[in-house]
Amino acid sequence: RATYDIAATETKWQRVWEELDQFRADDASPREKRYALTMFPYPSGDLHMGHAEVFALHDVVARYWWQRGYEVLNPMGFDSFGLPAENAAIRNDEHPDTYTRANIAKSIESCRKYAASFDWSRTFNTSDPEYYRWTQWLFLEFFKRGLAYRKNSPVNWCPQDQTVLANEQVVNGACERCGAEVTKKNLTQWYFKITDYAQELLDDLDELEKTWPDRVVTAQRNWIGRSEGAHVDFVIEGRDEPITVYTTRPDTLFGATFMVVAADAALAADLVTDEQREAFEGYREEVRRSSEIERQATDRPKTGVFLGVHATNPLTGTQIPVYAADYVLADYGTGAIMAVPGQDQRDWDFAQVFDLPVIRTVQPPEDFDGDAFTGDGPAINSANDEIDLSGMGVAEAKSTTIAFLEGQGVGRGTVNFRLRDWLLSRQRYWGAPIPIIHCPVDGEVPVPEDQLPVTLPMLKGSDLKPKGTSPLGGATDWVNVECPTCGGPATRDTDTMDTFVDSSWYMFRYCSPHEAERPFDSDLVNAWMPSQLYVGGVEHAVLHLLYGRFFTKVLNDMGLVDFREPWSAQLNQGFVINQGKKMSKSLGNGVNLGEQLSAFGVDAVRLTLVFAGPPEDDIDWANMSPEGSLRFLQRAWRLSGDVTSAPGVDVTTGDEALRRTTARTVHDAAELVEVYRFNVMVARVMELVNATRKAIDSGVGPADPAVREAAEAVTILLSLVAPYTAEEMWERLGHEPTVSRIGWPEVDEALLVEETVTAVVQVKGKVRARLEVSPDVSDADLEAAALADEGVQRAIDGAQVRKVIVRAPKLVNIVV
Ligand code: ANZ
């Protein structure tokens, strides 16, 4: 059996493509623009199976758009700042840039071999000074607008990486990068005020929900965590200022029998009496030593300490004790709660340990035998001389209570968000320096625009070892500067920015990557964006995808872009796993991409990944058959050698059955790609290959123009998945290179109309109607159509139908 030489084919076409440069996006093109974006990789090594999967899936759409006649922007760059490069540099005693550039060179080489249709003329690395100059410029714009600020607060601290982490980077209490258990530390840090946009970030999800994966939208909604409730003021004996608590259940206020303040909040230390101070401080130490995971575990026994003071319940007038405990978080709501053990399980558990009273304020159903009752029901034990909630449901009792508290001036309805401001400073070297100068006279002074970028001083190897403070602090020549305002001695900020800042605006940069006067050309950005497809991992559901949305809104407020959401549609691929498990070094189940590519060729690996299933599903490589993919590609390729008619032959005279199959396949393939069902599209191409093979080997024969039409359609459809094989086929079919931008096959609409058969309808044994129906009409549909026919109705003439015998698609017999 004839086959093609994989290695030779790959080398041959890479050279041709290089010369043709056919995927360069033309800003000036009159075609409609499409922007296919895929998350840029972190260059920590060469490409792996995960990249192979994403790029294969993403490329189907990018190549499809080209074939459909769009002008496509499909760029690729590298998210090259960050910890792995810095850690590698420490290990190898080199500069992080050296490591980063070597990996990038390897990755680009691999992407080219992999035939990903990226426009390499637009590539950049976020660690290029020409790029981070604008990251710094954007930081300063945020600073000028009050959206970047410094504050001292307890922050997540990774003891292993010796740096702070954003909340988003703490996963189950552990550092997202290295897995070390995260602790808390008080530090002055830079924040972006993303909370100013909380409501809009939430509202705009309603529109995105139509085109974004559900799990991403849900994750963002939960992360933003909007809740409606009330602030309630509690008067404390011997203290002027009341304590305000945040509650989502103001209706339960009559049942608030104690109060809890976060043990690590300043308020707790402020409230505690002298008699209780020692006990409190001991407890606080204990809390600081325990991890976030331990503290948030629901099954853990509740702990706490009495602060020695009482608060007055504003509705009952009762004196209720105030405790410090670790189940209340310092940085949520007001850091203090009213505890209602009758309706809240955590409060119930605490009340059991400390022997505190429980008053139910919602009547549980009769069969209820749990502890706290969190459901809806009529209010009980909830009345005094001025307000009576008795019998009201939760919603009504809430609004009634809020109105009453507002009237008394001791509370107000409020909206609360779980979302915190974005902590962006890092005490590490390999990132964009924060372009601020600290002056004893003028305070925080922005580095003047004409002095950007603030480039990193040359440090390497052991200079970079984590010390808990930024390594940049050691570069004294770099640190000590004149204050741009007063000229006096001042120092540079020594922190660098979180790499998520770099990746929050890279999609804009691709639209004008060589722009030297500003971060991007607004006209070009508005012409290309929002991007119509963003392909990437669901692990970015709340980090990157929320930050990028936030940046876009700020850029819109600055007048730099004319839209407020950067990505109108999104696709999350599953993971490539092996033998049912995530690939890992310790399990030794890693699959080496390079080996797969040399064994089966690029096309077979790409086809396997695309054909494996819906893109969202995980792919278990152990169950895949790249051999099978290769066999199919060779089968398809053989067709191209068997066609004996000439290019451009009049196909309208070809075999109609095969022409119909081809037309249907091409038509459906387009629809399938549009809804990301690439695997089904491939299955349909396989069927078309079989049908064509059958036609060649049967009476139709290889000279029939329909055979050429089918083989050409197969080639164009395959160009989305297996570009090397497709080019080879196209050439064998007698065409000039290349097939990649030849255009989508034209479909004769007439061939899509289903063939019909004639069904005969008899009433009392006499033919009364002939219906044109689809050959696969169901009995029920045919019966309905027969009974609806006017002639049939006339023949029945109001008589009782006793029996209908249906033999779809040919016959209906009506007995009256
Ligand atoms: C009284 C109450 C009664 C509550 C009840 C709930 C049920 P979400 O929905 O997540 O916003 N809370 C408030 N601040 C807290 C903090 N810093 N740490 C821990 N818990 C805190 O949750 C709001 C509810 O969580 C608030 O409503 C408060 O308890 C608690 F039957 O107040 B609730």
Give a three-class secondary structure readout of 178-198. CCCECEEEEEEEEEECHHHHH
ipTM for this prediction: 0.94
Q: Supply the pLDDT for residue 297.
A: 66
Q: Supply the pLDDT for residue 45.
A: 85
Pocket test for ligand 1, best of 222, 248, 381 (most atoms within 8 A of CB): 248
Contacts of 362 (CB under 8 A, 6+ apart): 251, 252, 342, 343, 373, 375, 376, 377, 378, 379, 380, 394
Q: Supply the pLDDT for residue 74.
A: 98
Label residue 298 by pLDDT band (50, 70, 90): low
pLDDT in tens, 658-712: 999 999 999 999 999 999 999 999 999 999 999 999 999 998 999 999 999 999 9
- Nearest residue (by CA) to ligand 1, atom 25, is 247
**Closest ligand 1 atom to Cα of 343:** 31
User: Of 665, 654, 653, 662, nearest to 701 (Cα)?
Assistant: 654
Q: Supply the pLDDT for residue 649.
A: 97
Q: Average the pLDDT over 543-548 and give the result.
A: 96
Rounded to whole angstroms, the Cα distance separating 83 from 99 reads 12
Mean pLDDT computed over every residue of the chain: 94
Lining residues, ligand 1, CB within 6 Å: 227, 246-249, 252, 262, 328-329, 332-333, 335, 337-338, 340, 343-344, 416
From ligand 1's centre to the CA of 186, what distance in Å? 25
- Nearest residue (by CA) to ligand 1, atom 7, is 344
Q: Give me the percent of the chain exceeding a pLDDT of 90.
A: 85
Q: Beta partners for 814?
A: 763, 804
- Nearest residue (by CA) to ligand 1, atom 28, is 247
Label residue 288 by pLDDT band (50, 70, 90): confident
Cα-Cα-Cα-Cα dihedral sign, residues 587, 588, 592, 595: negative
From ligand 1's centre to the CA of 338, what distance in Å? 8
From ligand 1's centre to the CA of 125, what distance in Å? 44
Locus of tokens 């989305």:
720
Annotated ligand binding at 585? The verdict is yes
**Closest ligand 1 atom to Cα of 256:** 1
Label residue 85 by pLDDT band (50, 70, 90): confident
Which DSSP state fits 220? H
From ligand 1's centre to the CA of 378, what distance in Å? 21
Is 70 exceeded by the pLDDT of residue 293? no
Rounded to whole angstroms, the Cα distance separating 602 from 110 reads 10
**Closest ligand 1 atom to Cα of 332:** 17
Is 70 exceeded by the pLDDT of residue 295? no
**Closest ligand 1 atom to Cα of 331:** 17
Is 70 exceeded by the pLDDT of residue 91? yes
Q: Supply the pLDDT for residue 261.
A: 98
Q: Supply the pLDDT for residue 287.
A: 85
Rounded to whole angstroms, the Cα distance separating 603 from 597 reads 8
From ligand 1's centre to the CA of 248, what distance in Å? 6
Q: Average the pLDDT over 757-770 and give the result.
A: 92
pTM value surpassing 0.90: no
**Closest ligand 1 atom to Cα of 255:** 3
pLDDT in tens, 672-681: 999 999 999 9
Q: Average the pLDDT over 294-316 and give the result.
A: 88
Helix (H), strand (E) at residue 748: none
Q: Supply the pLDDT for residue 574.
A: 96
From ligand 1's centre to the CA of 444, what distance in Å? 37
From ligand 1's centre to the CA of 35, what distance in Å? 44
Q: Supply the pLDDT for residue 587.
A: 87
**Closest ligand 1 atom to Cα of 372:** 31
**Closest ligand 1 atom to Cα of 362:** 31
Q: Supply the pLDDT for residue 62.
A: 98
Q: Supply the pLDDT for residue 292.
A: 61
Q: Supply the pLDDT for residue 189.
A: 93
Q: Average the pLDDT over 736-763 and give the result.
A: 92
Is 70 exceeded by the pLDDT of residue 296? no
Q: 3-state SS of the chain: helix, strand, coil percent to 5? A: 40, 20, 40
Rounded to whole angstroms, the Cα distance separating 439 from 373 reads 57
From ligand 1's centre to the CA of 704, what distance in Å? 75
- Nearest residue (by CA) to ligand 1, atom 20, is 328
Q: Average the pLDDT over 73-85 and give the result.
A: 94
Name the pairing type of β-strands 443-446 and 436-439. antiparallel
From ligand 1's centre to the CA of 247, what distance in Å? 5
Tokens of 150: 């410094």
Q: Decide: helix, strand or coil at residue 561.
A: coil
Locus of tokens 């296919």:
36
Buried-exposed string 143-167: b where 16+ CB fall within 10 A, e elsewhere: beeebbebeebebbbbeebbbbbbb
Q: Supply the pLDDT for residue 161.
A: 84
pLDDT in tens, 143-201: 999 999 999 877 888 888 888 887 777 887 888 888 898 888 888 999 999 999 999 99
Is 90 exceeded by the pLDDT of residue 88? no
Cα-Cα-Cα-Cα dihedral sign, residues 136, 138, 140, 142: negative
Is 80 exceeded by the pLDDT of residue 466? no
Q: Average the pLDDT over 439-461 and give the result.
A: 95
Q: Average the pLDDT over 732-756 and give the result.
A: 92
What's the residue count for the chain? Answer: 816
Is 70 exceeded by the pLDDT of residue 389? yes
296 versus 471: the higher-pLDDT residue is 471
pLDDT in tens, 198-250: 999 999 999 999 999 999 999 999 999 999 999 999 999 889 999 999 999 99
Q: Supply the pLDDT for residue 291.
A: 63
Pocket test for ligand 1, best of 234, 258, 338, 344 (most atoms within 8 A of CB): 344
